[in-house]
Amino acid sequence: MRAFNQGREAAKRVAGPPTDPAAVAAALGVEVVRWPFSGRILEVVLEGVVALQQGLAPAWERWLIAHALGHHLLHTGAAFHLDGWQWVSRFKAERQAEEFAAGLFAPPGAWTLSGAAALARRLRLPEQKVEYALPLWRREAAGRAR
């Protein structure tokens, strides 16, 4: 949950729910640009710049900026994994970036809403990413309730 908690801390840098990941990026000195990537490349993080594939839906842009900020803050060194044997470190880095994004968007009271679809609309995020994040949000809320 370290990556999740770092996402929560990054969200505090910019006031007002729902979190604006572009504003968080700006507060961290990270520039967000659109780039004509083709194929499966959706985002690249390099030297304080997050490049997003042009034409993404706004909900996906929001999530991918948060995801890329997770990579920017949590991972140093080469971000390209070209060899098959690197799958373990790539999986861990991707999980951490996803947990960071979930932490960045963790809304107060999210666990009380009925269903991921309503929450996805409220937070302007892809529903499948909210389904991923909801258990993390609930676990974090249960920890605060203790």
Residue 56 has pLDDT above 80, yes or no: yes
DSSP code of residue 19: P
Q: How far is CA 93 from CA 77, 90, 137, in A?
A: 12, 5, 20
Q: How many helices (H) and strands (E) does the chain have?
A: 6, 3
Mean per-residue pLDDT for 23-51?
92
Residue with more model confidence, 24 or 80: 24
- pTM for the model stands at 0.85
Strands 49-53 and 43-46: what pairing?
antiparallel
CB 43 within 8 A of CB 53: yes
Mean pLDDT is lowest, of 2-11, 72-81, 94-103, 128-137, for 72-81
- Cα torsion for 90, 9, 105, 97, to the nearest 10°? 0
Helices (H), 18-115: 21-27, 58-74, 87-105
